[in-house]
Amino acid sequence: MGRYPPPDAPPDEPIRATLRAGTPVYRVHSTHRAPTAYHTRPSHAFSYGGRFDSTPYDPYGYLCVGFGVGAAVSEVLLRSLVFEGDGTERLLPRVAFEGRSLSFLRLAADIEVVSLMSGADLAAVAQDSWLVRTEGADRPRTRDWGHWIRRQTKPWAQGFVWPSKHEPADRMAILFDDRGDPPPLEPTGADPVDFGTQDGERRLNGILAPYRTRTAPAVPR
């Protein structure tokens, strides 16, 4: 378990991976935000937020994408949902998905990232699977580790890639706006799916069904 501070230097050279131009990726984002727009507001350094978000100690624009629809959706919408243990479906609160959309994108150029995919990749940065699987209260620690990995891989690393926790058959990536020439993403031409619409909610339920999850019913007004 990797709940310790980063060392002064990595034990090995961090492992590089190249994400190829043209690779399709998927993003769940606030509907009011452009599909390729970076988050520019840092997360609180010592409170909840994303795994590798920026903080005031290392401010940078960032965005996360999944390499499959299931990974993109489950990493954003299912990370705080647990099963009750009685075999029933999980209910996704409406506040979790209303106001969000799914966009279909592709990489506009080759992108060089730090690979956190394997045990050997993680060991090269003095870590183990804790870094890419832990949740909740440990997120300030994972953000600190992310800042340290960025420092060790400056200026080449344009992001990180790691196995999705909630869809282990697929990958997630975070991309930084201060490394290389943004934007590294472009729309595919497919219309985004607005989960706040009736059709968008229907399509979301189709994505969630294999994960034994469905959207909570609307409360009559």
Kindly report the pTM of this predicted structure.
0.95
Quick: pLDDT tens for 170-187: 999 999 999 987 779 999
- Evaluate whether residue 176 is within a structural domain: yes
> What residues make up the domain containing 52?
18-87+100-195
- Evaluate whether residue 200 is within a structural domain: no
- Evaluate whether residue 74 is within a structural domain: yes
- Evaluate whether residue 43 is within a structural domain: yes
User: In angstroms, rounded to a whole number, what is the distance separating the alpha carbons of residues 11 and 32?
Assistant: 42
- Evaluate whether residue 7 is within a structural domain: no
Best CA proximity match to 124, nearest among 109, 114, 112, 134: 114
Element (H, E) at 13: none
The answer, yes or no, to whether residue 1 has pLDDT greater than 70, is: no
Q: How many structural domains compose the chain?
A: 1
- Evaluate whether residue 216 is within a structural domain: no
- Evaluate whether residue 207 is within a structural domain: no
Using 50, 70 and 90 to split pLDDT, how confident is the model at 38?
very high
- Evaluate whether residue 221 is within a structural domain: no
Quick: pLDDT tens for 189-220: 999 999 999 999 999 999 999 999 999 999 88
Quick: pLDDT tens for 44-68: 888 878 999 999 999 999 999 999 9
SS3 139: helix
